[in-house]
Amino acid sequence: MSQVGGVKQAAIAIAIFGALNSGAAALGQAAPASSPQVTPGSTSPAKEKLPPARSERQQSQPPADKFPPNPLAISEPLDPLIPYDYKERALTTGERDELIKAADRLAVIGAQRLQAQDAVGAYEAWNQELRYRRVVAALVDEVRALGRVGDAAWAQNNTQQLRYITKRLDEIRLQTERPIAQLEADTRTPPELLAPARRMELVEALGLAYQQVRLPKIAASLYEQVLANARQQGDDLKLEATLINLGQLHLGWFDYANAARVYRELWQRSQARQDLFNEPLYLGQLIFVHEQAKQPKETIFYQQQLIEFYRKVNDPKPVPALITRIANNQRTLGQLDRAEANYQLAYQSAQPQSQWADAGDALKNLGEMYRSNDRLSAAQRIYTFLVDVERQAYNAYGMMNAYDQLGQIHLQQQQFAEAIVAFERGREVARQLKFREDYFTAQIQKAAAAAGP
DSSP letter string over 91-122?
A: PPHHHHHHHHHHHHHHHHHHHHHHHTT-HHHH
Q: Are 362 and 336 in contact (CB under 8 A)?
A: no
pLDDT at position 282 is 98
* The overall pTM is greater than 0.75: yes
Dihedral sign (CA 300, 302, 305, 311): negative
pLDDT at position 36 is 38
DSSP 41: T
Q: Are 350 and 320 in contact (CB under 8 A)?
A: yes
pLDDT tens, residue order, the chain (453 aa): 444 444 344 443 433 334 334 333 333 333 333 333 333 333 344 445 555 554 444 443 444 444 456 888 876 666 788 888 888 888 899 999 999 999 999 999 999 999 999 999 999 999 999 999 999 878 999 999 999 999 999 999 999 999 999 999 999 999 999 888 888 888 778 888 888 999 999 999 999 999 999 999 999 999 999 999 999 999 999 999 999 999 999 999 999 999 999 999 999 999 999 999 999 999 999 999 999 999 999 999 999 999 999 999 999 999 999 999 999 999 999 999 999 999 999 999 999 999 999 999 999 999 999 999 999 999 999 999 999 999 999 999 999 999 999 999 999 999 999 999 999 999 999 999 999 999 999 999 999 998 887
DSSP 45: P
> What does each C-alpha distance from 146 to 77, 86, 120, 122, 141 come to in angstroms?
22, 21, 17, 14, 9
Q: How many Cβ atoms from other residues are within 10 Å of residue 153's Cβ?
A: 24
Nearest to 260 by CA among 297, 226, 233: 297
pLDDT at position 47 is 47
Q: Which residues, 6 or more positions from 370, have their beta carbon under 8 angstroms from its beta carbon?
A: 376, 378, 379, 382
- The length of the chain is 453
Show me where the domains of the chain are located: 254-315, 395-453
pLDDT at position 60 is 39
In terms of C-beta distances under 8 Å and separation of at least 24 residues, what long-range contacts does 222-226 make, across chains too? 222/173, 223/249, 225/200, 226/200
> What does each C-alpha distance from 400 to 388, 434, 441, 443 come to in angstroms?
11, 12, 13, 13
